[in-house]
Every structure is written in C-alpha cells, then in structure tokens.
Amino acid sequence: MSEYDLDLEEDVEERPFNREHFARILSYARPYPKTVVAATALTLTGIVLGLVEPLMFRAALDHGIATKDWRVLGTILSGILILRVLALVISRAQIKTTNYLGQRVLFDLRQGLFEHVEHLPFSFFDHRPAGKIISRITNDVNHIGNLAASGVINVVSQMISLVGIIVIMMSLHWRMAALSFTTIPFLALVLTKLRWALQSAWGDTRKAVADINAHLNETIQGLQVIQAFGRESSNSMKFDRANRKFFGAYMRAVRLDQAFWPLADIVGAAGTCIVIWYGAKEYLAGSVTLGLMLAFTNYLGKFWAPISTFSRVWSQILSAMASAERVFGILDLKTESDESEEAVRAASLGEAPKLEIMPPIEGRVVFDHVTFGYRAAEPVLHDVSFTVEPGETIALVGPTGAGKTTIINLLARFYLPTAGRVLVDGRDLMTVDLPSYRKQMGTVLQDTFIFSGTIMDNLRFGKLDATQEEVERAVEAACARGFIEDMPGGFQAEVKERGTNLSSGQRQLLAFARAILADPRILILDEATSSVDPETERLIQQAMKALLAGRTSFIIAHRLSTVRAADRIMVIEDGKIAEEGTHDELVEAQGKYASLYEAQFKAQENRVMPAGRKKPSP
C-alpha cells in the first residue's frame, strides 16, 4: 500500500507526548532568535520580580511594623509599589512578544503546509475529502500555533518559577517546606492517569472537526444537487450526526480537563492547612517570625499555581500533539519531485541525478509500453504504446472508465507509470523538472475552473507578465471579447468563486483564451459535455480551432466536429488502444469506432443537419 493510500483519519494514532514533534514545533521559532531572546528575558525578569515580592512583605512586617520603624516600612512599601508597576509593564511586554512569536510560527507553519500540499502528487488527493485537508491547514495549525504562542513559554516559566519557589521555601523553613511537598505524589498520580485519557479525547475531537469540515465542504459544493433531489433533510441529519460526534468528543475532553481542578484545589487546601497548623505551633514557640509565616504562606500559594497552570497547559500540549502528528504526517509525505528522484534512484540503482530542466518543447510524445493503476493491484492501462508527432491533434474516444483521462493524467505527469515510460521530445518525464515542463503545457478541463478575482486575473493565470495587447489578441482568438466587453468593468469585471456568475459557454471561452495566452506547446483538452446555444457552440468551435493550431494536442472528444477535425483518433477500451486512425478510416473499418459513432456521434450529426439536406454517406 502506498503512503498516499492511507486515510487522513488513520494517518496519525493517538500517542503520548512526543519529544520529536515538540522539538519540531520549537524549530519553527529558530528564524526569530531576537524575539526568542526577548521573550525569554522578559519571562525570567517577570519570574524574579514575582519571587522577590513576598520577601519584601516579610521585611515590611519584621523590620518595619514589628520594630515600629516607619521610615523603613515606607521605603519597603514604596519598593513593593514600584515592583508591582514594573511587573505589570514586563508582563504586558512579555505577552505581546510571545504572541508575536507564536503568530510567526503559525504563519510559517501554515504557509509551509499549504505550499507542500500544492506539490503533493494527485494520488494524495484521490481518496481524501477536501474538508479534511482544509482542517489540517486551519484547525490543526491553529492548535500548534497556540502552543507556540503561550504553551511553551508557560511551561518553561512555570517550571523555573516552581524551582525558585522550592529553593526559597526550603531556605525559609525546610520542615514546613517538606510538609508542603507531601501532597505532590498524589497530585502526580492523578495527572498521569488523566494524561492518557486526555490524549485520546483530544484526538477524537480533531477527527470530529475534520468530519464536520469534510461534510460542510461537500454540502456547499453539491448544494444544487441536494436541493434538486430534495435531500436537505437527510443531509441535515448526516451533519447532525457529525455535529453530535464532535459535541460528545469535545465535552468528554473538557470533563477530563476540568476533573483535575477540584482535586488540585482540595489537595492544595489540605497542604496549606497542614503548613499553617504546623507554622502556628512554631510561631507560638518563638521559632519563626510572623513575617516569615506570611512570606511562607505566600510562597505556598505560588507553589500550587505553577502546578495547576502546568496541568492546564499540559492538556493544551496534548491537543497540539494530536494536531502536530496530523500536520507533520502530511509534511513528511513525498512531493512530486521527491517521487521523481526516488523513481530515478530506484531505476538507476544508485544516487538520483538532478532533475533536468525541460527545454522548449517541440511536441513529440511517446508512450512506451505504459501500464498504470491508481492502485497497484488494479491496473487501468495495460501496455499502452503510441507515438504522436509535433503539431498532431489526437482525439481520445471510448466509453466511460476506459482510460482516456488516465492517459492525459500521465502525460501531465500527475502520476508515474507503474511500468513503461512517457517521453516528450525523447525525455522521460520521470527525470524532468515538473514546473519547467508544465509551464509549457496547457490544460482545459471539462469542468472549467474559474478563480475568484477579475476577468484579467483569470486570463493571466498561465502568464502573469502578459501585456494588455497579448491578452486582447488571445481574447480575440478565443471569441471571448464580446461577452467580456458586455460585462460591467470589462477585463476588470469581478468573477465569483468557480465563475458562478458566468454561463458554461462563457467559462469555456474564458478557459480557451487563458490557454491561448499561455501559448502551450502541448495542449490537453477535455471537452465539456454541457449543452450551449448554437451561437455559443459556433464560437466554441472557432475558439478551439485557434487553440489547437500549431501545437500537439490531446482531446477527450465529445463533439463530432472535434473527432472529424483530429489528425488521428484513438479508441480506448478496457485500458488499451482498441483502434486508431482518421474518422473516415475507422468508420470504413466497421470496428469499435464505427459502433461508437453510431451510438454517440451520429445523433449529433442528425441534430445539426439542415432540414431537407441529404445526409452524406460515411
């Protein structure tokens, strides 16, 4: 099984705290050493100020009030006030600095994950709902960012603070300190027991969020179909189940998270009572001063605060660990370039050479005994071989599932062949730098994808530096000028997401213009099957003629006019080339194509035949 065959929910198992992932999260702060140093310095300063204050209260009580020295008391109290103001300023600066650092980590991680996903092979997306991938880039990255923003600093600062408190308590009165620590083993036992349950609970919560995102994304994309079939109620029930699953998982995590607090409060109160009881005896015996008792009980309160804070941050760390395993699980997947290098290394039984930059393409394409399956045990293409010369137009026809789309997917190098080679101008696509190759390709899919933005943004998508003159020539060649000029704003008219404010015909013409402007050397075209009015059909045919001129083209054909105009037709059936030749040659042969022509294309011919005109013989 390929690493890409694993479902996103199963990519990551619930595990305890992972030092490797924790260190990897921290590594994202490495590019910001000044911010890290500033945050550390501010944190340490704040800790020191917090530890000094109880000692100043002790001095005020023992050396000011007890001795009735008002000058000393005033000096100490002024110092305490200055200390409080300074601590407030330090705290605000520390919060601002750590949040900035956390947001930088979040930004870099999200950007890196997004760019990595962009370069993953198509096999990664074959069986993954888009909503779950989105959840990785949004929700899971946010959890990691929260850890980086406050969790790490909190853990470190609370640990340092705890050590300082213990040292001071021991120096003040080691017997009372020892009594304070007797409750720690019980608290540690409770925390250990809750840790495993929390890890599982937060993992279930992440999965439930991913399910909600996936269903929501699917609903938005397919809302028209849902409404057309009146399935709103059943779809809502499905979402309700996912929503309830999240609610239950989250509430379980919250209950476990909150279970610690009452126990911590009870244990803390018990420890404080024991210390006060013992300290009172010592005070009455004259062994300790009232100032020492006040300072010690103050430190005792501070002693429980880091432990309680650590327990809260620990649940945050566990939540981030569940997210980190999912995010890093994607980041560790091989990109398309990694796959190519690995395939070359395996083929050469040695170190993979550097992928070569594709020079200007002439357009000769060779499939050399290509076999391929989206899953290794289920081949879709079987030993396919053919050669296409530069400038030749190939029409791929055949029943649904025959392998037509797979051929163009391999030509675009969205997948690697299971066996055999795909060569362009004599270069094996496995050894070619993909961006340099794909920049010379043009793809117009059946479901034309139009991005939100302006008409101009969409036209320049394949050539960002295109001049206005080049854009207008492409629009003219694609017969798209008319509808563009009719839109408010013309080239600067806003297009909604997926081009929903354009008709299907307008989207096709815009896609043709975009491809013409990019001037690809190899064109892949999956004809749209949607019906359009006769005038738009005429414009589409005219635009297609301009698009195909002078370039090697592969078309999954659905129109009779396209099939007739092709230099060669390949009939794909059961993953093999059943027949190939021109339209007339294949009709005359009375084979697979002739049957397909009778069933699929002849009806088109009859529909467009003028009334009273005699149909020519094939």
Burial of 351 (0-12, 13-18, 19+ CB in 10 A): exposed
Identify the pLDDT of residue 68.
81
Tokens linked to 379: 């081949």
Identify the pLDDT of residue 528.
59
Residue 18 is given by DSSP the state: -
**For residues 161 and 54, what is the distance between their CA atoms, to the nearest angstrom?**
14
The most confident of the ranges 275-284, 530-539, 574-583 is 574-583
Identify the pLDDT of residue 571.
93
pTM score: 0.69
Amino acid symbol at 246? F
**For residues 313 and 22, what is the distance between their CA atoms, to the nearest angstrom?**
14
Q: Give the model's confidence band at 345: pLDDT under 50 very low, under 70 low, under 90 confident, else very high.
A: low
Identify the pLDDT of residue 5.
45
Is 86 a residue whose pLDDT tops 90? yes
Query: How confident is the model over 354-372, as pLDDT tens digits?
Result: 788 999 999 999 999 999 9
Q: What is the mean pLDDT of residues 328-339?
A: 81
- The answer to whether residues 518 and 470 touch, using CB atoms and an 8 Å cutoff, is no
Domains of the chain listed by start with CATH number: 16-333 (1.20.1560.10), 364-440+554-608 (3.40.50.300)
Q: What is the mean pLDDT of residues 302-320?
A: 73
Helix (H), strand (E) at residue 510: helix 504-518
Positive or negative torsion for Cα 495, 500, 506, 507? positive
Is 6 a residue whose pLDDT tops 60? no
Instruction: Give me the count of residues in the chain.
Output: 618
Q: How many whole angstroms from its chain centre is CA 428?
A: 31
More confident position, 342 or 438: 438
Place of tokens 């959840």: 135
Distances (CA, A) of 255 to 151, 251, 259: 20, 6, 6
Q: How many CA atoms lie within 13 A of 334 on its CB side?
A: 14
**For residues 544 and 516, what is the distance between their CA atoms, to the nearest angstrom?**
10
Range name among 43-52, 216-225, 584-593 with the lowest pLDDT average: 216-225
Q: Identify which of 507, 523, 520 has the alpha carbon closest to the alpha carbon of residue 395.
A: 523
Query: How confident is the model over 104-158, as pLDDT tens digits?
Result: 988 999 899 998 888 888 777 777 777 678 878 888 888 887 777 666 777 788 8
Three-state DSSP at 264 gives: helix
The contacts found for 574-583 with CB under 8 angstroms, 24 or more apart, are 574/382, 574/402, 574/403, 575/379, 575/380, 575/381, 575/382, 575/384, 575/402, 575/403, 575/406, 576/381, 576/382, 576/383, 576/384, 576/403, 577/384, 577/385, 577/386, 578/398, 580/386
Is 194 a residue whose pLDDT tops 90? no
Q: Identify which of 431, 415, 411 has the alpha carbon closest to the alpha carbon of residue 356.
A: 431
**For residues 176 and 297, what is the distance between their CA atoms, to the nearest angstrom?**
10
Q: What is the mean pLDDT of residues 437-455?
A: 85
**For residues 290 and 527, what is the distance between their CA atoms, to the nearest angstrom?**
90
Query: How confident is the model over 496-509, as pLDDT tens digits?
Result: 877 888 888 888 88
Q: What residues pair up with 573 in beta bridges, in sequence order?
A: 576
**Residue 137 neighbours by CB distance under 10 Å:** 18
**For residues 324 and 112, what is the distance between their CA atoms, to the nearest angstrom?**
14
Helix (H), strand (E) at residue 235: helix 232-284
End-to-end CA distance of the chain: 49
- The answer to whether residues 617 and 609 touch, using CB atoms and an 8 Å cutoff, is no
- The answer to whether residues 15 and 318 touch, using CB atoms and an 8 Å cutoff, is no
Residue 431 is given by DSSP the state: G
**For residues 60 and 1, what is the distance between their CA atoms, to the nearest angstrom?**
72
Q: What is the mean pLDDT of residues 586-594?
A: 89
Is 260 a residue whose pLDDT tops 70? no
Is 618 a residue whose pLDDT tops 70? no
Pairing of strands 381-388, 365-372: antiparallel
Q: Identify which of 418, 446, 453, 416 has the alpha carbon closest to the alpha carbon of residue 434.
A: 416
Helix (H), strand (E) at residue 428: strand 427-428
Is 84 a residue whose pLDDT tops 50? yes
Distances (CA, A) of 91 to 45, 108, 298, 546: 9, 26, 20, 67
**Residue 26 neighbours by CB distance under 10 Å:** 14
Most distant CA pair in the chain, distance: 124
Kindly report the average pLDDT of the chain as a whole number: 82
Q: How would DSSP label each residue in 173-216? A: -HHHHHHHHTTHHHHHHHHHHHHHHHHHHHHHHHHHHHHHHHHH
- The answer to whether residues 458 and 514 touch, using CB atoms and an 8 Å cutoff, is yes
